[in-house]
Amino acid sequence: MLIKHRKASDVLGSEITPKSVFDDRRRFLKTAALAGAGLAASALPSLPAYAARTKLDGVVKSKWSAESLPEDDPINSYEDATSYNNFYEFGTAKGDPKDNAQDFKTSPWEIMVEGACAKPGKISFEDLIKPATLEERIYRFRCVEAWSMVIPWVGISLGDVLKRFEPTSDARYVYFETLLDPEQMPGQRAPVLNWPYKEGLRIDEAMHPLSILAVGMYGEVIPNQNGAPVRLMVPWKYGFKSIKSIVKIKFQKAMPPTSWNEAAAREYGFYSNVNPMVSHPRWSQASERRIGELFKRKTLMFNGYEEEVASLYEGMDLRKWY
């Protein structure tokens, strides 16, 4: 419903009607449509006009493209991935982000890079991604609420980006922050969380090849409700770790605070790795409902990326460091 393509069988009014009549009719229709739209707009103020979809050029395949996707991990529909979102900045119901984020302004967009690095400073979104290669990364996405999807992200290696700022040896953690703008983000007008949204990774987690900054989905520019213009994507952690609409990156020595940890420390640890063995006060994490499926399936250790990331946590008690 976003872009209406004209089918070959669609006949334009101008092809079968004399032009003057056609023009008159068109004027009438235009007026009627305007009046109708006005009425509709006043009667249904919640009817959002969906932002246009834009294709991304130059996206290359990666090790995590469709070819290497397990058979029982079919990609979820665009509709599912863009209409069912937890993005509390735009409201707490799953449909709120799609309804409330359409007018969100993602350009111009700047990211402040600071802390323990040789090249801090403000960088525009364009400059951030220009030197990088856009890669297709199809990842399983596991929400802490025990549902999951498979989403084809378009992103750039987070590690490569971070290295450009030349982090020093004090950079043991990376801290991220979402835009704070209650004007545009109605959810921030209520104290649901300690705004702005804060997240963090250990530096080796951030440098891991699986970690990306996502700027697209389904080969297109990432929709506002999914965290435009740039969000984190760390597929072996619960979804809330993958912070959206990032405006600040900071290298630091101390473990950074995170919003959900501040809200309920017993429920949301700093690591929040997907782990079926560590149950959560709200949800057993042993299984999950894949969106589009009725029955639950077993949750995989590190969301199925155990081979790639388990070594990051060698010797750690994951029950303690949940």
Partner 1 sequence: MIATTMSDTATVNSAARPQGKDRAAKKRDPMVWVIKPAVWVLCLAPLAWLGWLVVETIYFGGRGLSANPVEFINRYLGDWALRFLLISLAVTPVRILTGWKQVVRVRRLLGLFAFFYVVLHVANYVGLDQFFNWEAIWEDVIKRWYITVGMAALLCLIPLAVTSTKGWIKRIGGKNWNRLHKLVYVSGAAACLHFFMMRKGLQYEPLVYAAIFAGLMLVRAVEPLKRRFSA
CB of residue 90 vs partner 1: minimum separation in angstroms? Answer: 14
Query: Other CB atoms closer than 10 Å to residue 23's CB: what's the count?
Result: 12
CB of residue 210 vs partner 1: minimum separation in angstroms? Answer: 25
Query: Which residue lies nearer to partner 1 by CB, 27 or 282?
Result: 282
DSSP reduced 3-state for 267 = coil
Query: Which residue lies nearer to partner 1 by CB, 26 or 296?
Result: 296
Hey, what's the torsion of the CAs at 149, 151, 155, 157, to 10 degrees? 50
Nearest to 117 by CA among 156, 199, 174: 174
Residues with Cβ within 8 Å of 261's Cβ and at least 6 positions away in sequence, in order, are: 268, 269, 270
Query: Which residue lies nearer to partner 1 by CB, 36 or 95?
Result: 95
Token output for 320:
């303690």
CB of residue 84 vs partner 1: minimum separation in angstroms? Answer: 4
Query: Which residue lies nearer to partner 1 by CB, 22 or 84?
Result: 84
Query: Which residue lies nearer to partner 1 by CB, 112 or 193?
Result: 193
Distance CA 176, CA 252 (A): 11
CB of residue 260 vs partner 1: minimum separation in angstroms? Answer: 8
CB of residue 76 vs partner 1: minimum separation in angstroms? Answer: 8
**Phi/psi at 238 (nearest 5 deg)?**
-60, 150
The contact set with partner 1 (CB under 8 A) reads: 76, 79-80, 83-84, 88, 92, 94-95, 147, 190-193, 263-264, 279, 281-284, 286-287, 289, 291-292, 294-296
Check: CB of residue 133 under 8 Å from CB of residue 214.
no
